[in-house]
Structure 1
């Protein structure tokens, strides 16, 4: 990441952003022209529609403009015909495009992915008009005669780029700021009862694009809903709902400010409903006013939280029009140096969420969110950071209803100019946070976010933006939010060292940094804020190691309240190669290789682009679980980490596992454990246990809905590992260049020249496809590439690939020893076979001369591809590694070899299972270790996943499926890591020290 940031410094310094151009989209001080003041999101209905239960979006007050539009794409804004807005222009030959959409996803222009830095030519000033992809949208609509005499508005929920609006040939106005709504009043432009011509010019890049330097695909178009709406002249223009708690958080404190478009002539009334039943109603008698108030106390209110998302319905009647809004009563505070909701401490178990769909780009739907939220809920996620811009309005409706804590983030990121909180600092002469010319851009984006989303109980924190230089403009946005909303804290990642944040919200701090924060509590006020990482546990590729270690620290210190994993979904775009095979594209694909791009850095998700759950998300589910356990003798301590839910009605199940099989189960009703507390439960002894077995206690808790809410297992009794090798050895033959070990129906044939097995004959057929070899290297993960594994650990790549035989000998007992010089060490492979055909292979690493950590210490070989079904006893059933295995439980699992493959968007090491005791292929191949081992098997080889020192554009379709079964038995493999992917290593406890190692396996 540092290199990416530094590489654009020269370009950034050259920008002279203070020079305004001729058009609004080229003027930093112009964000909009002739737009309405931002307002909260709501719909107006007729009384009849309200009574009938008709959806508000389908009201006669609305005309949906989503769907087919005439469309023309231009490579440059200069190519747009000057007369295109004329009412006489002929659009008949134009293409059709669906709205909402991004035009790049419809085949127009090129999708470019950038993490940091701008995807456009700045021409030293503003985005260069000559290289500014643009488009024109055209549609004819007839407005109902029933709208005669009403105020009529055109609302865009989100347009990526700048938009110029024309109605019936007249210019209405302009707006930019791609992720918040813009609204235009059309009374002077629209013709009621007649056909109207709507023409929109959309420019991909504007001056505001410098504030949209987010880590995502740079796409353009009308990507959110667009519609017309109408209401009577004295309609409700805006609502501000403050619904907190008082009287020790028992009663609701309802405060509503109603803004009318003009003074009313008749009284308004309102009612509050609980489950459809009116619990309070009143008339507001004030007339000839534009500001009306509701102030009420709701006794013994049912409170909103992410765990208990209880909502009331507030209905406001204005003559024959009505508005319904969901109301959640809750209070958010920073108190006692912690973030609290409803007076209760909470742990933030969050993720960051970009708007992304594998086929539609940024044009996401309510159904897309519902799918995401269902998966999040099933994996114990309780909080979402809107990275790095406000979401569509229906996102917040769903979060209110389903229960998520939301950090709503302003659409402000000028990362390319620097970031005070990271290890380089902005140039105050060019960094936008410091320049007065850009104050309006910062303010308006912040205000738009606040005004639209202010009434959602799910929004508990405002964020000033992401990765910016923390200049005066951010102090002003902070001050504005604090002055206009006294009910929520404000955070800024860029302000961690400064005063304009209420929460310490760093990114990619290690667990040790969290401990340092606790240690420094008394040094300065900035160390006394709640510490909630805005980004951590970077989930790029095969990642999210040591998450448990993070949370062991967080759970031990109340001021460390969790964080938001980066991020939720891989931003892959579904496409096909020349053979018609589907894969997920990333930066540099899709005709974009000639453009600067950041490759697969867009693939950081806990789910694939198609929402397939990654193994790392299963680890998140386990670490984030709210019911946790410790075992003290026969007492099971159960910790309830919910903030508002007790365990009343919950059930505990516990089972004895012997050698991976459940042999006895018991259950009991849990006592009621209050939120954020724990109790001990005494478990009944199991009726009997079997001597000589390995034993685990498995415990699980289910809520009233019979959903699993917590699980754990404890090793009760270890099993001693005993060699199965018989004292009677196999027959030994030594010919010219071969050594042959023979027993029953097996032969193991060695080359004296290479010291390796040439063949392993079973019933006269060779099943060995590649010889047994010491292995010290893995196909580099994204995290490995981030710390430059080829440079940092390259001695072991050489050791893996260039093994020079020093000696091959056989002793009188038939033990074959092959000794290799591997450059930075020596290695031995020792083979024995007994009369039953069981083979014992020992690998020794010694005389290590390098200080480089070792990626892995193991044995690799391949057998016939017909060995394609596996039973193993170990951690499973899903992929797991040394530092990411708490979610995998011990058991006996049966899988196909193909089930071990996990197709990360860029091929890399995958498919391992940790703590394995044995492996059995169904055709008769069995593998045992002298201690637990890590096991991987594929129908591909390490070389197929290998990449080389520089990343290549490689995808899952590049992996060759071969007629072999590759097997790796690792004594050790270093952790996958995941603190961050641009230089972060696995934490020290999961690194392999360069020293002597020895281990053995037995196969038969």
Structure 2
């Protein structure tokens, strides 16, 4: 038999392409060959910011259909919030009706328990045929249903109630020919009274953008990834996703339906490179598709393909016309097509921001990376469209600072949320010549040109482990807000439909960071309401009595001197029962309130065992020569150099804590946002200022009583002003070191990245236990996801594996920290006096990090595997560090309130004790 070659061709990489091969199948073996062209006309429409991976990445299948076949099923499941009733409108397109006399088409609606709650049967006589066909037994026709199905459970992300619609086709002989199940949800999403509303309630999207990407399989994303992503969403209070920037794998929408995630479904369209040139200079005359007729049908077809495939999913609440493709009349054609075929869902398109004359093609106002103040000023008016940030909080590397400034805008009705850019780092596992693997980014595969690490923007790492940024997202996105005090908690339930009755609220009291009491409560706060709930927090005196001298377990040195305690009242919200996405007891959000409480007659250094618990009669010996001065007793020794600018030995029982004297630091390893906004250029003087500071004066003298030492080292920074810095060590006869580092301020200079000391330690001191905000790293503009408490970390754990090594591991508002080896030997650092910039005249927290690498090592490396073998640990004690930023990564600075003004005096004030 002669070979017969038939070619079929389609474009659009992310929606199905179907070909009917019935007419060319022959007896015997047939060959199906699929070719994928790397470049086509469609390449102009698929200029998304992602890895350019080519090939077939979704399933290819050959399907056989029965003679009578349901070719399409379009379902509108409307919900009337005023009556609680659901309305079904169903259109079924059926092939093969020619000669199907007596066939019936049954439609049945089943609830979650499988019970039929509504049903209706149609016959061939009910088939509507195309206008040019007169016989009802034509090859194809449509069958429609319209019915009020009565009371239904509505679908929402908070309560994703699903029904199953079953369409069954039976031939004239009564034989079942085909059965089509379709899961649906009754809900109404619409713009009403100028706001986007779901089932009559104003919605706020707490969303992320999500590229389909896997570190090992590229653009082919296994279902295990999808399920893990959805569960992560639910665990971190993420209620929405934008399918940036193309329709996703069909299974993703089914999961969003099932678990409850709102979806902005986006057309596979981005032409970013056509309308900008380097430097983001606009070139609108070159824009594609613009108003060019040659692109019109291709763009409309992409929207048509997306809608036809995804129409029935209740999770899809908005259609998006694409991403970053400027404006033009082609988008009007796409917009008109959407509304002609879906009268319910709104249309989104951010690109018209660049061409306001086409503003009518988006039903919502959408911006990328607008600053919080700009949003508040421009888009919150009563006559404005509902507003969303389709991309914001650019989470590249150590980022997501200032997220709370955006979520605070939810107080404005017109602000209806945003979508963080983005969910998962896009990096590929690369096997190196030595057999090891690493996560690689642009350029690592000899690909030129490229954007290097610019796809590493996720709140989870490429291996889908959470980054430290995720804690901030979880807390800022929480629907329930908890504000406790010493007597109760104020609960604000921002859910739209569910009360808090099905959750457990655990109340705790922490004394000096350690939990002393807890109890579970059930609070029933209806959706949209705020209520004050009483909590039976015990009196602090009762907790001190319980703790006794054991309060020292919290502080590490007994009760606070003079009977003063730091008491934290905490309430958290937890799952009372297991769900598909988290076990019972999983915490969703929390609130804390901390106060300093004085207790008469309780606590003193003697009573609580503050210090090293040694015989007070043990007398230290002070010794000095021309080069050094020291103090020692039977176990400990401190040596202060008269020539090297600081402490050169600090040891107990021969265990040394000093390799080189602690060095001044006014620098941090640049985060991606620093590189993007030119912080290194603007703050270049601070890179060198501390590192190359020189000693201009030294004084090391015994104390007046002859039992201690006082050392003062005058430095000048290696900046243009030669700014003076004073480092002082006061050592008492118990070998406790009061260390202060003072910066007087320098007018006119750029803000400081950080100020304090960096201390190189022997590698065995790799344990960090601290009382501060934790457990993950925190920064001045990223504190909301952290709790005040006592935490234990390792240097390795605190090194977050950002694609490009950068500043990491910082812990803010630390009261004390212990840096030890695995046996608990090491050093304790406790907060001392004021650190400057208007702080109260009392013990002031400091910032601390303990890492396997120095700041300079992190600054030099371009991949984590380029960092040297671990031979030391590096302790940083900082009076302050600037925030990390996050508005964008190509120019946005850290917000002013999270920077360190150069003219602000700073003081690191801590006490050091050996353990």
Alpha-carbon separation, structure 2, partners of 1:621 and 1:928: 30
Of the structure 1 ranges 628-637 and 573-582, higher mean CA displacement relative to structure 2 is found in 628-637
Residue aligning to 1:495? 352
Alpha-carbon separation, structure 1, partners of 2:848 and 2:427: 29
Residue aligning to 2:533? 681
2:883 alignment partner, one of 948, 970, 975:
975
Q: Does 1:708 align with 2:587?
A: yes
Deviations 1:944-969 (A, max 9, x none): 1013xxxx7x2111122433221101
Deviations 1:142-183 (A, max 9, x none): xxxxxxxxxxxxxxxxxxxxxxxxxx6513311111111100
Task: Provide the TM-score with structure 1 as the length reference.
Answer: 0.79
Q: Does 1:532 align with 2:434?
A: no
Kept in 1, the 8 Å contact 2:504–2:521? The answer is yes
Kept in 2, the 8 Å contact 1:306–1:405? The answer is yes
Kept in 2, the 8 Å contact 1:745–1:762? The answer is yes
Residue aligning to 1:350? 207
Shift of 1:267: 2.9
Alpha-carbon separation, structure 2, partners of 1:876 and 1:247: 43
Shift of 1:216: 0.8
Alpha-carbon separation, structure 1, partners of 2:371 and 2:895: 9
Structure 2 residue matching 1:313: 3-state secondary structure? strand
Q: Does 1:591 align with 2:446?
A: yes
Alpha-carbon separation, structure 2, partners of 1:734 and 1:924: 25
Q: Does 1:802 align with 2:692?
A: yes
Kept in 2, the 8 Å contact 1:840–1:1002? The answer is yes
Residue aligning to 2:117? 279
Deviations 1:41-94 (A, max 9, x none): xxxxxxxxxxxxxxxxxxxxxxxxxxxxxxxxxxxxxxxxxxxxxx99xxxxxx
Kept in 2, the 8 Å contact 1:569–1:607? The answer is yes
Residue aligning to 1:4? none
Kept in 1, the 8 Å contact 2:485–2:569? The answer is no
Shift of 1:762: 3.3
Alpha-carbon separation, structure 1, partners of 2:451 and 2:626: 56
Structure 2 residue matching 1:851: 3-state secondary structure? coil
Deviations 1:372-411 (A, max 9, x none): 1111111111101000000011111111111110000000
Change (3 A) 1:718 1:171: farther
Of the structure 1 ranges 490-499 and 473-482, higher mean CA displacement relative to structure 2 is found in 490-499
Alpha-carbon separation, structure 1, partners of 2:347 and 2:66: 37
Alpha-carbon separation, structure 2, partners of 1:280 and 1:962: 68
Deviations 1:508-561 (A, max 9, x none): 112112211355x16xx5xx111111111111111111212221222x212111
Change (3 A) 1:395 1:169: farther
Q: Does 1:331 align with 2:184?
A: no
Structure 2 residue matching 1:188: 3-state secondary structure? helix
1:267 alignment partner, one of 104, 107, 118:
104
1:296 alignment partner, one of 118, 133, 147:
147
Kept in 1, the 8 Å contact 2:511–2:565? The answer is yes
Residue aligning to 1:308? 159
Kept in 1, the 8 Å contact 2:483–2:592? The answer is no
Residue aligning to 1:39? none
Q: Does 1:698 align with 2:570?
A: yes
Shift of 1:939: 2.2
Kept in 2, the 8 Å contact 1:419–1:470? The answer is no
Shift of 1:221: 1.1
Structure 2 residue matching 1:258: 3-state secondary structure? strand
Shift of 1:202: 1.4
Q: Does 1:509 align with 2:360?
A: no
Kept in 2, the 8 Å contact 1:543–1:783? The answer is yes
Alpha-carbon separation, structure 2, partners of 1:975 and 1:916: 16
Residue aligning to 2:551? none
Q: Does 1:627 align with 2:483?
A: no
Of the structure 1 ranges 564-573 and 491-500, higher mean CA displacement relative to structure 2 is found in 491-500
Alpha-carbon separation, structure 1, partners of 2:193 and 2:487: 37
Alpha-carbon separation, structure 1, partners of 2:255 and 2:181: 15
Residue aligning to 2:837? none
Residue aligning to 1:872? 770
Residue aligning to 2:550? none
Change (3 A) 1:760 1:716: closer
Change (3 A) 1:938 1:997: same
Structure 2 residue matching 1:326: 3-state secondary structure? strand
Structure 1 residue matching 2:305: 3-state secondary structure? helix
Kept in 1, the 8 Å contact 2:80–2:199? The answer is no
Residue aligning to 1:133? none
Shift of 1:778: 0.7
Shift of 1:435: 1.9
Alpha-carbon separation, structure 1, partners of 2:617 and 2:412: 56
2:856 alignment partner, one of 943, 951, 960:
943
Q: Does 1:240 align with 2:138?
A: no
Residue aligning to 2:416? 561
User: For structure 2, which runs of at least 5 residues remain unmatched after alignment?
Assistant: 128-135, 171-176, 545-562, 578-583, 704-708, 833-843
Residue aligning to 2:436? 581
Residue aligning to 2:711? 816
Q: Does 1:841 align with 2:841?
A: no
Shift of 1:772: 1.3
Kept in 2, the 8 Å contact 1:803–1:820? The answer is yes
Q: Does 1:425 align with 2:282?
A: yes
Kept in 2, the 8 Å contact 1:244–1:253? The answer is yes
Change (3 A) 1:744 1:977: farther
Alpha-carbon separation, structure 2, partners of 1:773 and 1:613: 33
Shift of 1:758: 3.1
Kept in 2, the 8 Å contact 1:876–1:890? The answer is yes
Deviations 1:903-948 (A, max 9, x none): 111111111222111112221311111121111001222221013x
Structure 2 residue matching 1:183: 3-state secondary structure? coil
Q: Does 1:184 align with 2:63?
A: no
Shift of 1:585: 0.4
Change (3 A) 1:204 1:977: same
Shift of 1:635: 4.4
Alpha-carbon separation, structure 2, partners of 1:175 and 1:313: 33
Q: Does 1:776 align with 2:666?
A: yes
Kept in 2, the 8 Å contact 1:756–1:772? The answer is yes
Alpha-carbon separation, structure 1, partners of 2:387 and 2:631: 63
- RMSD, aligned α-carbons: 2.5
Alpha-carbon separation, structure 2, partners of 1:172 and 1:764: 81
1:551 alignment partner, one of 390, 407, 425:
407
Kept in 1, the 8 Å contact 2:73–2:92? The answer is yes
Kept in 2, the 8 Å contact 1:434–1:472? The answer is yes
Kept in 1, the 8 Å contact 2:189–2:317? The answer is yes
Residue aligning to 1:928? 830
Residue aligning to 1:151? none
Kept in 2, the 8 Å contact 1:925–1:1003? The answer is yes
Change (3 A) 1:173 1:359: same
Q: Does 1:473 align with 2:473?
A: no
Change (3 A) 1:847 1:365: closer
For residues 133-282 of structure 1, the aligned pairs below 5 Å read 169-192=4-27, 194-246=28-80, 248=82, 250-263=84-97, 265=100, 266-274=103-111, 275-282=113-120
Shift of 1:779: 0.8
Change (3 A) 1:961 1:207: same
Shift of 1:763: 3.3
Kept in 1, the 8 Å contact 2:237–2:478? The answer is yes
Residue aligning to 2:549? none
Shift of 1:631: 4.1
